[in-house]
A and B are shown apart, each in its own frame.
Chain A
Amino acid sequence: MREQVKNLRYIFKPRSVAIIGASGTPTKVGAVVLKNLIEGNFDGKVYPINPKYESLAGVKCYPSVLAVRKDIDCAIIATPAEAVPQILDDCGKKGIRGVVVLSGGFSEVGNVELENKLKEVADRYKIAVIGPNCLGILNPYERVDSIFLPMYKLKRPRPGGISFVTQSGATGTCVVDLAAQFGVGVSKFISYGNGTVINEIDLLEFLEKDRKTDEILLYLEGTKDGKRLLKTMKRVNKKKPIVVLKAGKGEKAAKAAFSHTGNLAGNYLSYDAAFRQSKVVVADSLDELFEFVKIFNQALPKGKRIGVVTNGGGLGVLTTDVIEDKKLELAEFSDETKKTLRKILPHYANADNPLDVIADAGSELYKKSLDVIKAAPEVDIIVVIVLFQAPAIDERILNILVNLSDEKKRPVVVIAVGGEYTEGHRKILEGYGVPTYSSPSDAIKAVKKLVDYAHAIKIRGV
């Protein structure tokens, strides 16, 4: 890893942050970022920088970073683009090693020269620069937040194991918001904008070594170094699953991507080839990005045989249909498994897969059945369908499912179809890291991705 990439640690875990272009006008980016850091309970020192103010948000304001006596680890720049190279030079002189440039107005609007200047200064001082033209970064563990969107409009996710790398700020916004909404835990969020100094490949390398990152979400519009991207994805994906969403697949979309982030959205066929070769998990929409990533906190399955437990027969059938369609298998219960199941099931229930514990089954019967299924060597993946609407099901089922998922012996997936009441329960399960889906097809599609990934990793070797 080159030194500049290593210096990203100053951005993600700074002891002190300067906000250059901090402002007293509440709608300005420099005001929102300052407010977010202070109200988000960031532990370190905060230095607002703006020659026009004596103090901002109750904190002493400085005319320049050079006027601050103490060391500064990280600077967030929210000034007009033209001023950025000079400010960056000041940061270099001050010894600041990590900088986030939120300002837009560089290559994405044709101002390539200004962007080159920025890069030249960053390289000279070995500063890790995120941006320009980006939304910023987020590290919920350290409560570092340079996202310039107000907290009441954009919820921040809880700390967790998923890191998200995005070229687009707009897409990033939606993902952060949805992650908070779904209770998905985030390790690092990085909107890298034009990727002038630090690009998506550098970030993959950084996250590969980041101990708090278990999985990586990558939203890509284009790359400038396909060969290195392929090589890096191949290596990192073996250790930490990468779920990728590529935008700009067609000719027209590629043109839109060009004017948007000043990058070329390459021919999708080559990207498709690179994704297949590196065995990363490909999502086709933002929804899929979430649906897929949440299953990867589970243990990798040894095979593709699924055991289904349900209290609703119809949903079991629907799930079976998708399992067949996706070329997965319904596990064949062994005689021993069936014998044990018959002992606990009511006489009118069949000990077959999908195991229908019948609508009047309570949480206790689920527990007993799942104990049998999880001990069955013929089952690689456990899918639990819960009809929360059924009268005998109570809150205890949540505990049972969370405990089962926490064992991490084989993947556990929950399907809960329904409205508000069910959704509430789904969210609780999500919050505890149990991959929970609102339809059989979403769930099994994700299972398929997990099975394919496990298979690819196994045959290619880790």
Chain B
Amino acid sequence: MTMIDDFNFLEKNNFKLLPYALAKTEDEAVKHAKKIGYPVVLKVVSPEISHKTDVGGVIVGIKNKMALSAAYREIMENTKGKKVEGILVQKKARKGIELIIGGKKDEQFGHTIVLGLGGIYVEVFRDISARICPISKEDVKEMVLELKSHPILLGLRGKKAIHMKTLERLVVNVCRFMQKEDISEIDLNPVVFNEKGCDIVDVRFKRSEK
């Protein structure tokens, strides 16, 4: 399974992803970017690379055709020697608050979901709240209030609150997805929220071993 298969599978399961397309050549990438609309992000798609950023396989904030061509070549250069299936062209995510929504299958409790403050300091702050699946929207409301950073999500100093209904729907859907497809681990990280909705920037998941 590659990223594209995963993305297709997620869309079938009611996850709304940022517009994306897979390019096999530079020309294709240009075409896709035009259709999706700048700014875009390029990400390498390879079964041999799991941490794309670490190897220079991700370039963000591409604003025009020229930058796109340069970025495409740079990624190909950075990932030379690896099996590359193509380059993912993805719409750049909105600005907002980065959250992480994850889940795992626990030996004692079964599927468990975690909501937390995302971003680069996620490990430091460990500002997370967990529940056992299945959950209701009411549970998500409580999870939000359990986060130390909840005042930021609910709107601080004139900033608008994030779109709570979208968050509730998304978290409940992750639970449903995990249970239905018997997912052993899943990470939606980050998901960027603002007052209008959210963009799922990256998703990784693993099915339970039979």
B135 to chain A: which residues have CB within 8 Å? Answer: 277
Check B108 for interface membership: any CB of A closer than 8 A: yes
CB within 8 A of A226: which of B109, B114, B131, B146? Answer: B109
Which of A67-75, A268-276, A366-374 touches B?
A: A268-276
Which residues in window 265-314 of A have CB below 8 A to B?
266-267, 269-274, 276-277
The CA-CA distance from A225 to B132 in the complex, in Å, is 13
Check A347 for interface membership: any CB of B closer than 8 A: no
Q: Could you tell me if B108 and A264 are in contact, using CB atoms closer than 8 angstroms? A: yes
Check B151 for interface membership: any CB of A closer than 8 A: no
The CA-CA distance from A276 to B141 in the complex, in Å, is 13
CB within 8 A of A224: which of B108, B132, B146? Answer: B108
| Given known A267-B106, A277-B139, contact A230–B112 (CB-CB < 8 A) | no
A272 to chain B: which residues have CB within 8 Å? Answer: 130
Check B110 for interface membership: any CB of A closer than 8 A: yes
B106 to chain A: which residues have CB within 8 Å? Answer: 226, 266-267, 270
The CA-CA distance from A112 to B112 in the complex, in Å, is 29
Q: Could you tell me if B139 and A226 are in contact, using CB atoms closer than 8 angstroms? A: no
Check B142 for interface membership: any CB of A closer than 8 A: yes
Check A227 for interface membership: any CB of B closer than 8 A: yes
Check B5 for interface membership: any CB of A closer than 8 A: no
How many cross-chain pairs have Cβ atoms below 8 Å apart between A and B? 52
The CA-CA distance from A270 to B129 in the complex, in Å, is 10
Which residues in window 88-139 of B have CB below 8 A to A?
106-110, 112, 114, 128-132, 135, 139
Q: Could you tell me if B146 and A274 are in contact, using CB atoms closer than 8 angstroms? A: no
The CA-CA distance from A423 to B12 in the complex, in Å, is 66
Q: Could you tell me if B132 and A269 are in contact, using CB atoms closer than 8 angstroms? A: no
A225 to chain B: which residues have CB within 8 Å? Answer: 108
Most central of B109, B112, B131 by chain A CB within 10 Å: B109
Q: Could you tell me if B142 and A273 are in contact, using CB atoms closer than 8 angstroms? A: no
The CA-CA distance from A272 to B110 in the complex, in Å, is 14
Q: How far is the CB of B67 from chain A (nearest CB, A)?
A: 42
A267 to chain B: which residues have CB within 8 Å? Answer: 106-108
Check A223 for interface membership: any CB of B closer than 8 A: yes
Q: Could you tell me if B109 and A273 are in contact, using CB atoms closer than 8 angstroms? A: yes
Q: Could you tell me if B142 and A227 are in contact, using CB atoms closer than 8 angstroms? A: no
CB within 8 A of B142: which of A226, A230, A274, A276? Answer: A276
Most central of A223, A267, A269, A273 by chain B CB within 10 Å: A273
Q: How far is the CB of B151 from chain A (nearest CB, A)?
A: 13
- Closest residue of chain B to A279 (Cβ to Cβ) is B142
Q: Could you tell me if A277 and B108 are in contact, using CB atoms closer than 8 angstroms? A: no
Q: Could you tell me if A276 and B109 are in contact, using CB atoms closer than 8 angstroms? A: no
B130 to chain A: which residues have CB within 8 Å? Answer: 269-270, 272-273, 276
Q: Could you tell me if A273 and B107 are in contact, using CB atoms closer than 8 angstroms? A: no
Which residues in window 210-248 of A have CB below 8 A to B?
222-227, 230
Q: Could you tell me if B146 and A266 are in contact, using CB atoms closer than 8 angstroms? A: no
Most central of A266, A269, A271, A272 by chain B CB within 10 Å: A269
B114 to chain A: which residues have CB within 8 Å? Answer: 269
The CA-CA distance from A269 to B112 in the complex, in Å, is 9
Q: Could you tell me if A230 and B146 are in contact, using CB atoms closer than 8 angstroms? A: no
CB within 8 A of A230: which of B109, B129, B139? Answer: B109
The CA-CA distance from A270 to B128 in the complex, in Å, is 12
CB within 8 A of A266: which of B109, B128, B139, B142? Answer: B109
Residues of A within 8 A of B (CB): 222-227, 230, 264, 266-267, 269-274, 276-277
Residues of B within 8 A of A (CB): 106-110, 112, 114, 128-132, 135, 139, 142, 146
Of all A-B residue pairs in the complex, the 5 with the closest CB atoms, nearest first, are: A226-B109, A226-B108, A273-B130, A266-B108, A270-B106
Q: A222-B108, A266-B108 are in contact. List 15 more A-B contacts (CB 8 A).
A: A226-B106, A226-B109, A226-B132, A227-B109, A227-B110, A230-B109, A266-B106, A266-B107, A267-B106, A269-B128, A273-B109, A273-B131, A273-B132, A276-B142, A277-B139
